[in-house]
Amino acid sequence: MDDGFFYNILIVDDNLKNVQVLGSLLERERYHTEFALSGQDALNWIEERVFDLVLLDIMMPGMDGFEVCSIIRENRKYDDVPILFVSAKKDTYSTLKAFGVKAQDYITKPFNHDELIARIKTQLELKSNKAKLKTINFQLEEKVKERTEELDDLLEKYRTANKMLEKANMDLKQLDDAKNNFLQLISHEIRTPLNGIVGSVEILKGLVQDEDLLLSINVLDISVKRLHQFSLDAILLTSLNLNKYKTVYSEVDLLNSIEDVIQGVKKRFYLKNIEINLEGFIYGQKIYSDKKLFYEVLSRLIENAVVFSGDNPIIQVSIKMIANEFSLNIIDNGIGFPEEMLENKPSLLSPSESHVDQNIGLDLFLVNKIVEYLEGKFSYGNLKTGGAYVNVNFDNIVFE
């Protein structure tokens, strides 16, 4: 422990002999002591200086020790200063009352000298450790503040976009009737600031050398890209809801389309051991559909199957074409859909859609909307043997 003279202890007792005994004992341990022979004298000392610890008697003329302790605790300077009662009273009521007025310890007279010193040292060490902890917390807060200030300008743009997104999510849940107008607002108002943020983040990634700061920027980059994708989804969804999407029908090569999707998925999830098996695909086989919308459906469903199938996804993609009926079926070996999701039609930003997007995205709702827009049917469910399936079916489609 540090040299005792670093600590100042106030002894409060109306018995001068008791004060002398305590003072002599503490000075041998190299503590600096002052004394007060009454409660009022103690309070006068408290106003003049701050002590590291107070030894307080209970039975004193005028103001007793309990009242003195209560008044001391009202002084903000003494929030962390330990108060130890040293009293001849041995009843339980006095002990409990001492702790009730926020004393740290209760020692009965006659006391063992070694025990008293040990308890004093313990309380002083606790006080010292609390002070060190406060200092460490303050230093950590200052360091965090410095790092935060370095990103303030960039993060302010992100916060603005994020607040708009939060408002969007809330309004979409509460005002389903206003969904279309609101999505239109998102698509235009969020996309503009996000374009500037995306470019700024890319520039910063090339300039910043500090690893901690670079980590923060990478987190920001991921969040911004999610927001950017959300804005693109909102544009598409709004145009579909308002029937403003201009459908362009053309030949869609099924085998080329699925191979493009598989290549993109394997590139994005390169750490996974992905196995995708195809069934029913024939070279040169084509259908007439909107290429963009068909690709959106195909890529989103396969990506989600991969995401929720662990590190070794096995995906089965099959198609059937009979007369004018086209059917796309995707099976995975993942965790399956939650029960509450199987009971309801896909809804916008539903928290239960964890199979599609744990971050509560638009994927499942958007796929369903696209299929409906193309006059098809979309269904999904769980397999008894494990895993999940999704099915897209068109009853009247032209193919060759």
The DSSP line for 126-142 is HHHHHHHHHHHHHHHHH
Is pLDDT at 17 greater than 80 in this prediction?
yes
Residues of the chain with pLDDT > 70, as a percent, come to 86
Q: Residue 5 CA to chain centroid, in angstroms?
A: 47
Q: How far apart are CA 140 and CA 202, in angstroms?
A: 29
DSSP secondary structure letter of residue 208? -
Is pLDDT at 393 greater than 50 in this prediction?
yes
Which pLDDT belongs to residue 347?
Answer: 63
Going by their DSSP bridges, the two strands 53-56 and 8-12 should be labelled as parallel
Q: What one-letter code names the amino acid at 25?
A: L
Report the SS3 class of residue 108: strand
- DSSP-assigned beta bridge partners for residue 319: 328
**pLDDT (mean) for 234-252:** 85
Going by their DSSP bridges, the two strands 249-253 and 286-290 should be labelled as antiparallel
Is pLDDT at 360 greater than 50 in this prediction?
no
| Phi, psi at 84, each rounded to 5° | -115, 120
Lowest-pLDDT choice from 1-5, 16-20, 37-41, 245-249:
1-5
Give the relative orientation of helices 179-189 and 152-174 as an angle to the nearest 10 degrees: 170
Q: Pick the residue with more confidence: 330 or 194?
A: 330
How does residue 351 score in pLDDT terms, banded at 50, 70 and 90?
A: very low
Give the pLDDT confidence of 262-290 residue by residue, as tens digits: 999 888 888 788 899 999 988 888 888 99
| Fold type of domain 249-394 | Heat Shock Protein 90 (3.30.565)
Q: Pick the residue with more confidence: 247 or 361?
A: 247
| Phi, psi at 280, each rounded to 5° | 90, -5
Q: Pick the residue with more confidence: 211 or 354?
A: 211
> Two tokens at 234?
């909102």
Which pLDDT belongs to residue 92?
Answer: 93
Q: How far apart are CA 245 and CA 168, in angstroms?
A: 22
Q: Spell 146-166 as b/e; 16+ CB within 10 A means b.
A: eeeeebeebbebbeebeebbe
Which pLDDT belongs to residue 358?
Answer: 42
Is pLDDT at 336 greater than 70 in this prediction?
yes
**pLDDT (mean) for 147-163:** 75
> Two tokens at 269?
């999830």
Residues of the chain with pLDDT > 90, as a percent, come to 40
**Residue-range domain boundaries for the chain:** 4-145, 151-241, 249-394
Which pLDDT belongs to residue 1?
Answer: 43
Which pLDDT belongs to residue 192?
Answer: 67
Q: State the SS3 of 106-172.
A: EEECCCCHHHHHHHHHHHHHHHHHHHHHHHHHHHHHHHHHHHHHHCHHHHHHHHHHHHHHHHHHHHH
Which pLDDT belongs to residue 346?
Answer: 67
Give the pLDDT confidence of 118-154 residue by residue, as tens digits: 999 999 999 889 889 988 988 888 888 887 777 677 7
What mean pLDDT, rounded, does the chain reach? 83
Name the pTM for this structure.
Answer: 0.49
Q: How far apart are CA 105 and CA 123, in angstroms?
A: 9
CA neighbor of 183 nearest in space, from 164, 196, 198, 201: 164
Query: Given the structure tokens 């043997």, which residue do they identify?
Result: 385
**pLDDT (mean) for 375-387:** 91
Q: Pick the residue with more confidence: 167 or 126?
A: 126
Is pLDDT at 2 greater than 90 in this prediction?
no
R_g over Cα of the chain: 36
Q: Largest Cα–Cα distance in the chain?
A: 112
| Phi, psi at 61, each rounded to 5° | -65, 145
| Fold type of domain 4-145 | Rossmann fold (3.40.50)
